[in-house]
Amino acid sequence: MKRTILYLLFTFTVSFFYAKEYPSLMLTKSGVQRIRENLGKNPMFDATISEAKQKADLAISSPIIVPVPKDGGGGLTHEKHKDNYYAMYYSGIMYQITGEEKYASYVQKMLNEYMKLYPGLDYHPVKMSSTPGRLFWQTLNDFVWLVHTSIAYDCVYEYIPEKNRKELNEKLFRPMAFFLMDGNEPNNKTFNKMHNHATWACAAVGMIGYVIQDDELVDKALKGSDRTGKNGGYLKQLDELFSPDGYFTEGAYYQRYAIWPFMIFAQVIDNNQPEMKIFEYRNGIIKKAVNTLIQMTYNGTFFTLNDALPKGLNAQELVFAVNISYAADNSQKELLSIAKQYQSFLLPTDAGYAVARDISLNQAEPFNFKSLLLRDGKDGTKGGLAIYRSEAKNENSVFLMKATSHGLSHGHYDKLTVSYYDDGNPVLTDYGSSRFLNIVVKYNGGYTPLNDSFSMSTIAHNTVSVDGQNHYGGDIKISSKYSPEIYCYDISDPAVKVISAIETNAAPSVKMHRTNAILENIGGSRIILDIFKLTSETTHTYDLPFYYNGDMISLSTPYTKASDNMTTFGTDNGYKYLWKEARATTKDPYVCFTWLKGKKFYSVTTLTDNNSELYFVRSGANDPEYYLRNEPAFIVRQKNTGNHTFLSAIETHGKYDLVVEKTENAVSSVKNIRILEDNSDYTLVEIMVNNITATFKINYGKGCCTPKWTFNLINNK
C-alpha cells in the first residue's frame, strides 16, 4: 500500500526534461550521426564496431532466457543475468549505429521478460550479503545491471511504443530504482554512503532517471536521497572520495574499479546537463583522478599496494576512463598514447570514436609519467603515497613510499612500506593480495583466508614489524583512525630526492620515522638511502624485511641455510606463513646482500651489530591449499633495543648481459656506510660508493630555520 503511493509520487513528479533527445547516455544523436558517417574510414574504430556487432549478433541469434534468480557469484543464473545486460548493451548500441530493428526488438523483448519477472521477486535466495539484491545476491550487481541496461534502454527508447515504455518504467525500472535507493535501511545507507558501491548505486539510479525523464531520480542520484547534497550523492562522492591530488584511499587497484561508475555517470550527466560542467567540478577532480590512476603504474601495471592483482592500463575500466575523459576534454592528448599503447579496444560510443579519430590524426602525445606526492584524504591531510620516478632517458625506475591512511577494507597493515621497480621489473616487491579472481576452486575466486592473515600482515611488507605484531594490532578500526604524516617530499634537487614520513601510532610506544634519499648517480650506481628511525622508551624486537624479486646472489657474511629440514619464521601473525630458509649473525659493522633480476644487480647494504640477526624467508608455510605464491625476502632483525635506526643503502649496479656473455660490476660499489650521529634532532649518515663519499643529514627538529635535510658530496680523488 505504502509502496503504491510512493510509486505514484514518483510518477507524477514534474520533469525538467523537455524535448529530450535519444540516445543521450553513452551515445548522443549527433554522435551517432558522426559515427555512421565515418564507418569504414577509421580502421581502429571500425574494429571496435565490428567487435560490438559480433557480440550483438551472437546475442540476438540466441534464445532469450531470463531465469528466476537462484545462484551466487559465478553460478548459472548469476552469469546469465550478467550476460543478459551485456547482450542488451551491445544490441542497443548496434541498433543506433546500424538502424536495424532486429537489435532494438531484441532489447525490447528481453526488457519485457524482465518486466514479467521483476515484480514477483523478493530478496535473492542466496543470503550472503547484508545488502541482498533481487536479480543478484548483492545489490552491487543489481546496480551494474541497471547501469548497462539503462544504456541499452536509452538506445532503443524511441523504438519501443510509448505504452510498452510506460509499462516498463512503472513495473520494472521505477520499482528497481526505488528498491536500490530506498528499498530498505541498508540500501538507503549504501546509496548515501561515501564508498564506491554508492557510486554504482547513484550512477544506476541517475542513469535510468535520465532515460525515463524522472528528475527526482536524477536529483537524488546527484545529491543523495534527501536531495540536500549534504548527506550523500554523486557530487558529495566527488568531493570526498578523492583527495585533492585525485587519489582514492584504497589505492590504485581499487581506484581502477571505483573510477568506472564515476566516469560513466559523468559522461551521462555531461550529455544531459552540460551546464553542470561535471568534468570541471571541484577543479576537474574526475579528470585528475584518471591522470593520477595512470601515474600509479609501472610499465602499464598498477602498483600492487593493498589488495591488488597484477592489473593495469589495459583493464576495461581504464578503457572507459581514458575514452570518456579524453572525449570530455580533447586537450588531454597524452591520454591518446595510453589508449594506443596499452589498450586493445575502444568504447563503441561517442567517446571511443573521439579517441580513434584523434589517434588516427596522429595527435597522441607521450604521457608525462613523473615523480609526485599523492596526498590521501579528502582534504589531503591523511598522509600520502610518495612516488619517485627516474627522469634520465635510459632509466626506468620507480621508488614508492606508502604513507597513506588505512584504505578501507582493502587496506594493508604496512605503514611506511617501500617498493622499488627498475629496468622493467619489480625489484623490491609488495605482495598484493592472495586471490585467484574468478577461479572457483580457489576459495570461490574471492580473497583467500590467507589474504587477511598473510597478505595484509605487516611482516609481509617492506616495513618494520615491532615485536612480531601487525601495525595497529591488525585492527582496521584503530588503523582507520590514524594516518602517517608526510614529513618531507622534496624532488627539487637534481642530485638527491628526499621522501620522509612519520608514523606514531602503528606500534604501541614506538615512533617510526622513515627517510629515503634517492641518489640517482653516485660513483656509477643509483643509491637509495633508507634511514628507518625507531624511537621507544621500552625494549623491542624490530624486523625490517626486503622482499626481493630475482636470484639470490650473495650475502657478505656466512649464513646457514636449511638443508634437509625447514621450519617457519614464527608462529603468529604473518610470521607463520614464512619458511625460514636461512639465518646469519655477524660481527661486521654492515652486511651486503646482492641479488640479480634481469640484466641488473641490486644490493642492500645494511648496518649490523651484536643485536642483529639476518634471515632469508619465503612465503608458503601453513598454506594447506596453495593460496600463496612463494616469494623470498631478506629480513634484518634487531633485538633488545628501544631506540634504533636501520640504515641501509639500496643499490642498483652493474650489468648482466647473456647475449654477449658480459658481466659488469656484479659486486656492490658501497665501500662503507655508517651513522655518524643519531639523536632526537637529526640523523647524520655517511656512505662511500667507490671513491665517492657523501653525507646525508635528516633533521627532525622543526625549527623555522633548519632545512629538513642536507646532502654533501665529497669526491675523494
Strands 709-715 and 682-689: unpaired
Find the catalytic residue in 78, 148, 195, 410: 410
Q: Which of 50, 54, 341, 438 binds its own copies (CB under 8 A)?
A: 438
Q: Is 431 in the site for its own copies (CB under 8 A)?
A: no
Measured in whole angstroms, the distance separating CA 630 from the mean position of its chain's CA atoms is 23
Task: Tell me phi and psi for residue 591, to 5 degrees.
Answer: -125, 160
Question: By CB under 8 A, is residue 64 in contact with its own copies?
Answer: no
Q: Is 54 in the site for its own copies (CB under 8 A)?
A: no
The three grid cell numbers given for residue 496, joined into one nine-digit string = 638527491
- Asked if 566 is part of the footprint of its own copies (rule: CB under 8 A), the reply reads yes
Name every residue whose Cβ is closer than 8 Å to that of residue 111 and which is 6 or more positions away in sequence.
88, 149, 153, 160, 168, 172
* Total residues found in the chain within this entry: 717
* Sign, CA torsion 262/267/273/274: positive
**140 near its own copies (CB under 8 A):** no
- CB environment 616-642: b (16+ within 10 A), e (fewer): bbbbbbebeeebbeebbbbbbbbeebe
- 442 is a site residue for its own copies (CB under 8 A): yes
Pair 21, 157: CB distance under 8 Å: no
Among 661, 704, 715, 716, binds its own copies (CB under 8 A): 661
- Mask: binding to its own copies, 624-643, rule CB under 8 A, as x and -? xxx--xx-------------
Q: Which of 90, 254, 342, 700 is catalytic?
A: 254
Tell which one of 30, 54, 567, 680 touches its own copies (CB under 8 A): 567
Task: Give least dist CB 603 to its own copies, A.
Answer: 12
Residue 571 or 680 with smaller CB distance to its own copies: 571
> How many residues lie near its own copies (CB under 8 A)?
51
Chosen residue from 8, 361, 437, 495 binding its own copies by CB under 8 A: 437
Residue 179 Cα distances to 5, 70, 133, 149, 247, angstroms: 14, 19, 9, 16, 31
The DSSP code sequence of 475-495 is -HHHHTT---EEEEEE---SS
Nearer to its own copies, 74 or 707 (CB): 74
Among 148, 375, 471, 618, binds its own copies (CB under 8 A): 618
**Nearest approach, Cβ of residue 432 and its own copies (Å):** 12
**Chain mean position to CA 467:** 30
591 sits near its own copies (criterion: CB under 8 A): no
Does 691 engage in binding with its own copies (CB under 8 A)?
no
Candidate ranges 146-154, 214-222, 530-538, 617-625; the one touching its own copies (CB under 8 A): 617-625
Asked if 446 touches its own copies (CB under 8 A), the answer is: no
Determine if 666 is a binding residue for its own copies (CB under 8 A): yes
Is 254 designated active site?
A: yes
Query: Helices 215-223 and 196-211 meet at what angle, rounded to 10?
Result: 160
Distance, C-alpha 292 to centroid of its chain: 10
Of the candidate residues 4, 362, 492, 565, the single one contacting its own copies (CB under 8 A): 565
Indicate whether 553 belongs to the interface with its own copies (CB under 8 A). Answer: yes
According to the binding rule CB under 8 A, does residue 662 interact with its own copies?
A: yes
- The alpha helices in 241-363, defined as continuous H runs, are 252-272, 281-295, 316-328, 334-342, 350-360
Of the residues 344, 409, 539, 640, which one makes contact with its own copies according to CB under 8 A = 344
| Smallest separation (angstroms) from its own copies to the CB of 626 | 4
Q: Is it true that the peptide bond before 23 is cis, omega within 30 degrees of 0?
A: yes
Stretch of residues binding its own copies (CB under 8 A), selected from 176-184, 228-236, 308-316, 352-360: 308-316
Instruction: Between 554 and 690, name the residue whose CB sits nearer to its own copies.
Output: 554
Using the rule CB under 8 A, is 576 a contact of its own copies? yes
Among this protein's residues, is 257 annotated catalytic? Answer: no
- Choose, by CB under 8 A, the member of 9, 361, 562, 713 that binds its own copies: 562
Instruction: Confirm if 387 and 499 have CB atoms less than 8 A apart.
Output: no
Query: Residue 139 and residue 190: Cα distance in Å, rounded?
Result: 9
For its own copies, give the closer residue by CB, 511 or 576: 576
Whether the Cβ atoms of residue 251 and residue 305 lie closer than 8 Å to each other: yes
Q: Does 180 bind its own copies (CB under 8 A)?
A: no
Taking CB under 8 A as the rule, does residue 394 contact its own copies? no
399 forms beta bridges with 388, 420
Residue 36 CA to residue 520 CA, distance in Å, equals 52
Catalog residues that contact its own copies under the rule CB under 8 A: 309-311, 314-316, 344, 436-442, 445, 551-554, 560-568, 571, 576, 579, 594, 596, 618, 621-626, 629-630, 656, 658-663, 666-667
Catalytic residues: 254, 410
